[in-house]
Structure 1
Amino acid sequence: MTVHSQGVAASALEDAPGKAAGKSQTPPPASGSRKVPQPPRGRGRRSLPAGLIPYLLLAPAVVCGAVLLLYPLVRNLILSFQEVGRRELITRETVWTGFSNYTDLLTDSDFWTVAGRSLLFTAANVVLIMGIGSLIGILLNRLGKKMRLVLSVALVTAWAMPIVASVTVFRWLFDEQFGIANWIMRTLGVSGYEQHNWFETGMATLTIVTVLVVWGSIPFVALNMYAGLTTIGNELYEAARMDGATGWQTFWAVVFPSLKPFFLITTFLEIIWVFKAFTQVYAMNSGGPDRESETLPVFAYIEGQGQFHYGLAAAISVLTIVMLAAIMSFYFRLILKQEEEQ
């Protein structure tokens, strides 16, 4: 038993090195040499050019703008070359008149009267809006935090008020019998303001509309002006004070050159907004009395909806766009010149 057990043990010891050697003949692969499998690439797959991606992202907005803006503009242009009245609407007949609508307008003294009135109305409003708005913006920059917050809230409230609601309030203010304007004039001892009609002339009506438009547009200019003033460093103001510059000299030498792009862009926007103002003028007195307070948008609306001259109204709107584009070409040149100087 002893010899047998020793022989078995010896044979086990002789087999063990062989097994160990057999296991050591295949060493495990090094961890650094392991290759990560790559996903197979699809055949014929190509990435989009980098320059094409921005245009693809803008494509939905361009398409929506073309559908919502370009199509009505083209349709209105086509309508301006047609005679569209009550008979054409009933019979659904298309009557082409060529440039007769345009020749009728360009030879009509009423059209030129309304066009001149619109230009004067726009110029007066833009000058007042930019002047008063800039002054209030400077005031915002000089006030403390609490008073600046109060004034900013008041400006935003005036800016956010709906146009029709603001027109209604102004009509109450200038009411013949219960208006505050007549009460103030009587309190000051001015005679002739017992049930005075503030809308008896076109000039008086447009004056009230101007007050309304300026009141509603000042917040935009004032808040933007204040935002622009925060970008000017205090060292420029300190240098101006050390040179003995007054307030106006500081404005023209420091503020205006630094905010010249702001003034150009804001004036550009205000001209567009005021020139196409419709709701304020029409809701105030419907272009009256005797159509003496009509501007071009109101003139086109009354000719179309009131007189059923839709082709003529379309021609008026086209000429309005042409006039506005001619006016704005001057500001486009200034903006481009400003960019070249920078």
Structure 2
Amino acid sequence: MSVTSERTAVHPPPSRRPARLPAAPGRAARPRRTAGRVWPYLLVAPTVLGMLYLLVYPLARTVLISLQDFQLRQLIQGDARFVGLRNYATLLSDPRFWQVVRRTFLFMAVDVALIMLFATLVALVIERLGRIGRTAVLSALVMAWAMPVLAATTVFQWLFHSEFGIVNWALKELGFASFDRYPWFAHGPAAFVILVALIVWQSVPFAAITLYSALTTVPAELYESARIDGASAPRIIRTITFPLIRPIFMLVLSLEVIWTFKAFVQIWVMTNGGPGDATTILPVYAVQIALASQRYDLGSAVSMITVLMMATVLVLHFRQLFRQEGEAL
């Protein structure tokens, strides 16, 4: 017997198993594709549900209350009666409501104009500073921006305190004896100006930092070319800087309109809308009606009118913005 036959007899060749047929296309891949499509929605589902609970439900509840006769008795017993648009008709026929509306738009216009003016100037100054100066100014802006609203409001209250305020002391030292123990918050125009200053002081840091970030995206070559052509600084800002940062500028403007329109905490803590109605704007007016008169239906109606007014202003603003962008393209 040969060696080859012996090896074959001792070690028989392994049997070959039949190869598996490939799975039908689409059977195994389909569950994976389905899971891959569903997984992103599962990840964002908690956020969406939380937003619906925290935003949509209160808004829907406010709309419902504004269409009912909902006062203190209905709040306790829960037997509110549907009255349709009667609450809105009551508000729209009230002269005080329209005075508050005019004051709200005046407050918003003054605040937004001053915020955008000072923020633009601060951003332009930061751009021209050196590294150390830029770091110092940005740090100061961030610290001012990080201060809580209640803390900043309390600081302004002490600054303009009639007896212990540093503003009255400084004015008296400068020779203005009439400001000795001057009650700032007892005079409507003075309280209005103080609140405007507070809102501007709190809002300028965010707007300035955002606008400065937009300024850093403008190519330096454009500035050099404009200076070589003999363009002045105002003309450079008007023809180069502003057109390039206009989208960010308009975005900041829209945000400031929203934040100023719904300002409540500062006014409520500092003046409660007084003296009289000198500092009462729509959010404060809604709370005054709901708490003082126990008319939660009218307060909800004021809130919904505030939302509609703010949405209308923003829609008109964005429509004009998109029209300008379309003309530019």
1:170 matched to which residue of 2?
A: 156
1:310 matched to which residue of 2?
A: 296
Structure 2 counterpart of 1:184, which letter? A
Alpha-carbon deviation of 1:281? 0.9
1:138 matched to which residue of 2?
A: 124
Does residue 87 of the first structure (1) align with residue 73 of the second (2)?
yes
* Cα distance in 1 for residues equivalent to 2:283 and 2:152: 20
Same amino acid, percent of matched pairs = 38
Could you tell me whether the CA contact under 8 Å between 1:206 and 1:281 is conserved in 2? Answer: no
Does residue 185 of the first structure (1) align with residue 171 of the second (2)?
yes
Could you tell me whether the CA contact under 8 Å between 1:141 and 1:226 is conserved in 2? Answer: yes
Deviates more, 1:146-155 or 1:62-71: 62-71
* Cα distance in 2 for residues equivalent to 1:305 and 1:27: 91
Could you tell me whether the CA contact under 8 Å between 1:200 and 1:289 is conserved in 2? Answer: yes
Deviates more, 1:298-307 or 1:50-59: 50-59
The alignment partner of 1:218 has SS state of helix
1:47 matched to which residue of 2?
A: 33
Does residue 297 of the first structure (1) align with residue 261 of the second (2)?
no
* Cα distance in 2 for residues equivalent to 1:141 and 1:44: 55
2:261 matched to which residue of 1?
A: 275
Equivalent positions of 1:1-342 (< 5 A) are 15-16=2-3, 18-19=5-6, 45=31, 47-48=33-34, 57-337=43-323, 340=326, 341-342=328-329
Deviations 1:60-110 (A, max 9, x none): 333221221111111101101122223333443212322221111101110
The alignment partner of 1:199 has SS state of helix
Alpha-carbon deviation of 1:167? 0.7
Structure 2 counterpart of 1:305, which letter? L
1:3 matched to which residue of 2?
A: none
Alpha-carbon deviation of 1:308? 0.8
* Cα distance in 2 for residues equivalent to 1:43 and 1:240: 59
Could you tell me whether the CA contact under 8 Å between 1:261 and 1:338 is conserved in 2? Answer: no
Deviations 1:169-208 (A, max 9, x none): 0011001011111112112212311100111222211110
* Cα distance in 2 for residues equivalent to 1:28 and 1:79: 81
Deviations 1:235-281 (A, max 9, x none): 01101111111111111111100001011111010000000000011
Deviates more, 1:19-28 or 1:327-336: 19-28
* Cα distance in 2 for residues equivalent to 1:121 and 1:336: 26
Could you tell me whether the CA contact under 8 Å between 2:192 and 2:278 is conserved in 1? Answer: no
Aligned residue pairs, count? 325
* Cα distance in 2 for residues equivalent to 1:156 and 1:86: 44
Change in Cα spacing, 1:43 to 1:188, as seen in structure 2 (3 Å) is closer
Alpha-carbon deviation of 1:45? 4.1
Deviations 1:304-326 (A, max 9, x none): 11221111100100111111111
Change in Cα spacing, 1:167 to 1:38, as seen in structure 2 (3 Å) is same
The alignment partner of 1:72 has SS state of helix
Could you tell me whether the CA contact under 8 Å between 1:300 and 1:317 is conserved in 2? Answer: yes
* Cα distance in 1 for residues equivalent to 2:217 and 2:29: 55
Alpha-carbon deviation of 1:229? 1.0
Deviates more, 1:116-125 or 1:63-72: 63-72
Gaps of 5+ in 2: none
* Cα distance in 2 for residues equivalent to 1:113 and 1:139: 39
Structure 1 counterpart of 2:311, which letter? A
Structure 2 counterpart of 1:210, which letter? V
Deviates more, 1:222-231 or 1:40-49: 40-49
Report the TM-score when normalising by structure 2: 0.89
Change in Cα spacing, 1:38 to 1:88, as seen in structure 2 (3 Å) is same
* Cα distance in 2 for residues equivalent to 1:146 and 1:97: 64
Structure 1 counterpart of 2:274, which letter? G
